[in-house]
Amino acid sequence: MAEAPLTLAVPRGALFGETLDILDAAGVDTSELRGDSRSLIFETSGMTLVTMRPSDVPTYVESGAADVGITGKDVLLEQGDRVVYELLDLGFGRCRMVLAAQTGDDRLGEAQRRLGMMRIATKYPRIAEEYFESTGRQVELIEVKGSVELAPLVGLGDGIVDLVATGRTLEENELEVREEILECTARFVANRVAHKLRAAEIDELTAKLREASSR
């Protein structure tokens, strides 16, 4: 099928650098993306690379605006109802989803014991909800968009559910990990229709990425 080139959604932000590295290793030229160009779309090695926020990747891939994409498992879980095929664990961008609270402070435990209910601030309400439900605890979830570390420090909630990589941000804000919820890595995803109709191209790219990620 003489189609337009395969479109790949590239996440900007924390996963950006390693995404470019693995694409290079898989034979996709990413030099143009490494410059300080403000473009969002790049034509390279017979592919179209589109850059976006990681949390937008499932949206673009589900609708078919991008055929394939790379994003974090945290994003895929939080948008679990989006229909995208998850083809590969790329292994990089490893971080943990945790329940954290103020260091040495027992407000979280006290809320649980005395009120039978914790107030939790998070950017990941669905993951948090599922976690507390599956562990049989009742919580009041408060969704925030920005730095969630701020919330318990000023009394918005007893604890937070957030993603940590090194744990330094938590430490600097005098927060500590109380429970680990799950581990997240970058995933390679595909649009359902593209996966069927552009099988050869997608299989080839998947194989190259698999090889690059296991190196």
Partner 1 sequence: MIHPIPPGTRDVLPDEMRELRRLKAALIEVFEDRGYGEVATPSIEYDETMARADGPDRSSYRFFDEAGELLTLRSDMTVPIARLVATRFAKAEPPFRFSYLAGGYRAVRPQRGQMREFVQAGVELIGASAEEGTVEVIEVLEAALDAAGLGRAVIGLGDADLYRQLLEEMGVEEESRDAILSSLATHDLVALEQGLLAAGIGAEQAQTCVQLTQLRGGREVLEQARGLGGAAVERAATQLSETYEELERRGAADRVQIDLGLLRELGYYSGAIIEVYDPAVGHVLGGGGRYDGLMKQFGLDFSAAGFALYLDRVHTAQMEEARRG
Q: Cα-flanking dihedrals φ and ψ of residue 191, to 5°?
A: -70, 140
Nearest of 87, 103, 84, 120 to residue 186 by alpha carbon: 87
Among 19, 30, 51, 191, binds partner 1 (CB under 8 A): 191
The CA-atom distances, in angstroms, between 15 and each of 59, 88, 155 are 17, 15, 31
Min. distance of Cβ 19 from partner 1 in angstroms?
Answer: 17
Q: From the centroid of its chain, how far is CA 112?
A: 29
Do residues 52 and 40 make contact, with C-beta atoms less than 8 angstroms apart? yes
Run of H or E including 158? none
Min. distance of Cβ 71 from partner 1 in angstroms?
Answer: 13
Closer to partner 1 by Cβ: residue 5 or 167: 5
95 binds partner 1 (CB under 8 A): no
Closer to partner 1 by Cβ: residue 65 or 156: 65
Which positions from 50 through 79 interact with partner 1, judged by CB under 8 A?
Answer: 62-65, 73
- Helical packing angle, 199-213 and 16-25, nearest 10°: 110
Binding track over 12-51 against partner 1, x by CB under 8 A: ----------------------------------------
Closer to partner 1 by Cβ: residue 150 or 199: 199
Among 89, 171, 174, 183, binds partner 1 (CB under 8 A): 89
Run of H or E including 14? none
3 binds partner 1 (CB under 8 A): yes
**Site stretch for partner 1 (CB under 8 A), options 21-29, 46-54, 84-92, 132-140:** 84-92
Q: From the centroid of its chain, how far is CA 214?
A: 20
Among 150, 153, 165, 199, binds partner 1 (CB under 8 A): 199
Do residues 112 and 137 make contact, with C-beta atoms less than 8 angstroms apart? yes
Q: Greatest CA separation found in the chain?
A: 66
| Residues contributing to the site for partner 1 (CB under 8 A) | 1, 3, 62-65, 73, 81-83, 85-89, 187, 191-197, 199, 203
